[in-house]
Chains A and B, each alone.
Chain A
């Protein structure tokens, strides 16, 4: 009992679990953009950073309550998402990927050079407002919201665009408008994740939000299974915790991490839960069990 308690109260573990939650929120935003709508974004970390900086600055300079600065972070990211979306969501596939990659780098360089964000030295002195409970409340809210969106007229339109854009358009769906809306929600969620991050770490540095971080978030979504919420959760949990669990192999850590990803892609090219409808599987299981009775 005491051993369990000491693990539960260990600040290091709490920190790790909180970070998983923050990453998960960002990943769920990308899940809507890439997994549901099928639009590749290689600059998701940039939206996280916009949310982080915006909310941190709002807290520091305007002393707003944290909930409001979290909203401000989300809205700032969503605004940038819409501004980027208008010209670039006309592009598809690789071209959109490259555009978002470029955008991510622009954002990073801007934050390095701006005075108000503390430049390359980073932004310090952010009050610690977020904690593990708040993070997981937002996680639950986000998952709930994503489920609702997926099972709605709006969500079906997004899936239709992913499956066949021309067919979607002849079904009366305006693809550009819906892609921008999906981008707005996805980047809003990323911004919220960023503000939780900022008020957790109390310090921001542009180098935390480079394209490596964007690809990491994309990995969470792709490895878990594109288009699957349980998959995104699983992917984020495994890939965020793996480097922690692999600490015992010391310098071979990232080597094993890489090998793990390659193996997963070979055996589950659609991601761990890609193409698996968890609710359908559970329903089938329940039906079989009732049939046996």
Chain B
């Protein structure tokens, strides 16, 4: 299998601070790949580079062989990369269904003229949006809450809504930024099943997570960052035995 997403020697500096320092990594099609590391290691920054929110100081991001380094976030979504956010960014005052329908945006065409005239093509597109949204909500078990306002959902439900919204854009690659943060063990268990379900749908998953049990049981490959550098990568069991990883998490004295 070829690499779906490839990061080549990515460096990003904010003034004097080097947040990410020469990282290269690959995400293979069909895999669940994790990115782990202590707080401030640069994991979210890597996600922001991939989704076009930051432009790296140097280095390249390749998606299906195409250079997407300098593309805007909306153009990257259009090419099939969707994401969720670590600090939930829902459209709070809109209903669950509306949130997910906005996720369908880049797969539609209707514009101002369509809005005013609402000819049959536009009505068909709207209906397809609703169907697709309900399907995405079904994946994360939110169908029963479709009329609820996003801000009234529980924390775990809000995280799942973010996933549904991202799924609605029909991604090839789904980026999950700490999907299990703040969830209780039971919620984490259901979330794990959902990620497996998404992976089973043929969507490649790239995730940042702190919960090791979650990461180790889900991922095909794990990449470890520390102070903006990649210190290890491999299968979960390889990474768990890696001495540099243990040192990064527990301190050098332990090793």
Contact = CB atoms under 8 A, between A and B. Distances in A.
Interface of A: 145, 148-149, 151-157, 159-160, 163-164, 166-175, 181, 185, 275
A166 B53 CA distance: 8
Contacts of A151: 115
Residue among A154, A164, A173, A275 with the most chain B CB within 10 A? A154
Contacts of B115: 148-149, 151-155
B72 A174 contact: yes
B78 interface: yes
A288 B94 CA distance: 23
A171 B165 contact: yes
B112 A166 contact: no
Given A167-B85, A174-B74, A181-B112, A152 B91 contact: no
Contact of B122 (A149, A152, A168, A185): A152
B103 A171 contact: yes
Contacts, number: 96
A173 B105 contact: yes
Contacts of B110: 152-154
Contacts of B112: 149, 154, 181, 185
Interface string B46-88: 0000010100000000000000000011100110001101000
Nearest to A150: B115
A292 to B, nearest CB: 22
A152 B114 contact: yes
B153 interface: no
Nearest to A160: B102
Interface string B91-122: 11110001001110110101110111010001
B94 A163 contact: yes
B92 A163 contact: yes
Contacts of B85: 167
Contacts of A159: 91, 94, 98, 102
A169 B78 CA distance: 11
Contacts of A185: 112
B74 A169 contact: yes
Contact of A168 (B93, B102, B129): B102
Contact of A171 (B72, B106, B125): B106
Nearest to A182: B112
Interface residues of B, number: 36
6 contacts: A145-B116, A153-B126, A156-B98, A170-B74, A171-B74, A171-B105
Contacts of A148: 115-116, 118
A182 to B, nearest CB: 9
B139 interface: no
Nearest to A169: B73
Interface of B: 51, 53, 72-74, 77-78, 82-83, 85, 89-94, 98, 101-103, 105-106, 108, 110-112, 114-116, 118, 122, 125-126, 129, 165, 169
Given A157-B102, A160-B102, A163-B92, A171 B77 contact: yes
A170 B51 contact: yes
Contact of A170 (B73, B94, B129): B73
A27 to B, nearest CB: 20
Contacts of A156: 98, 101-102, 105
A174 B94 CA distance: 20
B118 A157 contact: no
A172 B83 contact: no
Contact of A164 (B82, B90, B103): B90
B91 A163 contact: yes
A173 B169 CA distance: 11
A151 B82 CA distance: 24
A155 B115 CA distance: 8
A275 B152 CA distance: 14
B83 A153 contact: no
Q: Identify which of A148, A151, A152, A164 gathers the most chain B CB atoms within 10 Å of its CB.
A: A152
Nearest to B92: A163
A156 B110 CA distance: 11
Chain B CB within 10 A, most for which of A145, A149, A167? A167
A181 B90 CA distance: 23
Nearest to A177: B74
B61 to A, nearest CB: 15
B102 A171 contact: yes
Contacts of A166: 53, 73, 89
A80 B93 CA distance: 32
B116 A170 contact: no
Contacts of B122: 152-153
Nearest to A181: B112
Nearest to A174: B74
B193 to A, nearest CB: 25
B105 A153 contact: yes
Contacts of B72: 169, 174
A157 B101 CA distance: 10
Given A149-B112, A153-B122, A169-B72, 13 more contacts: A145-B116, A148-B118, A152-B114, A152-B118, A153-B115, A153-B126, A159-B102, A163-B93, A166-B73, A170-B53, A171-B103, A174-B72, A185-B112
